[in-house]
Amino acid sequence: MNPFVYGEVTPVAAFVDREAELDRLAGDLAAGQKVFLISPRRYGKSSLVAQAMRALTRRGLLTVEVTVSSYSSYVAFLEGYARALVASEARFDRLTAWLKELFTAVRPEVRIEGDTAGRGGVSLSFPSVRTARDEARLAAEVFALPARVAATRGRRLAVALDEFQAIGGFDGGQVEHALRAAVQTQRDVGYVFAGSEPTLMERMLGRRRPFYKAGPVMRLGRIPPDRFAEFIEGRFRRTGFKPEPGLGAAVVDLAGNLPYDVQRLAHETWDDVKVAGRRTVGLDDLHATLRRLLGEYDTLFEQTWQGLTLAQRAALRAAVVEDGRGLLASDIRARHRLGGPSTVQASLAALVRHEIVMREGDHYVVVDSLLREWVARTTY
């Protein structure tokens, strides 16, 4: 089986590094801390959270995971959150009575459903919620629910709200006040508020926002490249392949040391070499796989490029060629015909909004390393 995983939460076997972050996150959640985890996309945030929750489950804690950005409305989010919380009650014959104890202001509509495999599930909704006042009452009940579940079950609880920055789109920001008021009194419940849009998350933690100094902040950085390279070569060896010297470092470099992209490039290279029936993996194999992927993504990248203004295209190409550094300097602007500083800043801001590039320290990084290579090889 291919040992490299991308496009889904990384299992234990494919998880690399992050031991310190994992121990800290699991320890804080077990202690009832409210942790804010900030990470750019493709850094492995969701996989880290999932690993922490699995570790806490093994310790005997109840765990709940909800992706905020999956919901199209405030009420839908509240229903999904409540559904995830009440699912910890495994005995369906007690569920209805239990829910009557948990919800007092707003009565839920509950259905016990089964799938084709005979497994049961809970359908929980609040059809009577129609007004802003109804929403506020429901939010108060749902946000108080984790502490009540922990007390009823007699076990500590850990809650993961992933893509938490999306909560800012609900209820004009009032949701932050309601949630902060609830969680700050819940001593037996640990929370991780994880977000992949660092700018939005940092704003939510600002001095004038409800979550200011609400708990410790973890900022996920890159995995050390040498550690990542060692991991890649080790996984090839463990599955019967012989990597040539420097293969791991080349994968990390071509993938921009973005965990998702590194795993993707290694995964696809592993598949190609296996299909070819070879046991040695070298740089030629890596570059052949990269060329294949660029061909497969060509139409998508061309659409992305055509959707940009000329100024944005120029800024993107400059970011690729100059490694995202010094893009406002006069010599670089002249070299790439970027126009004035205000034009460059506006173009970069648009590229960030479209999630084509991200700001990382003092430079700009193309979010998708394949797009970076496509721009470098096919545009002028």
DSSP structure string for 294-332: HHHTHHHHHHHHHTS-HHHHHHHHHHHHTTT--TTSHHH
* pLDDT given at position 313: 97
Task: Specify the CATH number of the domain 299-378.
Answer: 1.10.10.10
Stretches in the chain below the pLDDT threshold 70 = 8-15, 88-97, 112-122, 171-173
Q: Give per-residue burial for 144-177: e unless 16+ CB within 10 Å, then b.
A: bbbbbbbeeeeebbbbbbbbbbbbbbbbeeebbe
Topology annotation, domain 18-219: Rossmann fold (3.40.50)
Give domain limits for the chain: 18-219, 225-296, 299-378
The SS3 call for residue 376 is helix
Q: Are 147 and 188 in contact (CB under 8 A)?
A: yes
* pLDDT given at position 14: 62
* pLDDT given at position 118: 45
CA separation (Å) from 23 to 48, 108, 111, 228, 296? 10, 38, 38, 19, 39
CATH architecture, domain 225-296: Orthogonal Bundle (1.10)
Backbone angles phi and psi of 354, in degrees to 5: -80, 0
Which amino acid, 145?
L
For the chain, report the end-to-end CA distance as a whole number of angstroms. Answer: 40
Q: Are 293 and 261 in contact (CB under 8 A)?
A: no
Q: Give per-residue burial for 105-120: e unless 16+ CB within 10 Å, then b.
A: ebebebeeeeeeeeee
Residue 350, number of CB atoms within 10 A of its CB: 17
Backbone angles phi and psi of 198, in degrees to 5: -50, -40
Phi-psi domain of 171 (left: phi exceeds 0; alpha: psi -120 through 50; beta: other): left
Measured distance CA(142)–CA(102) in Å, rounded: 9
Query: Strand pairing of 280-281 and 242-243?
Result: parallel
DSSP 356: S
* pLDDT given at position 96: 66
Measured distance CA(89)–CA(141) in Å, rounded: 18
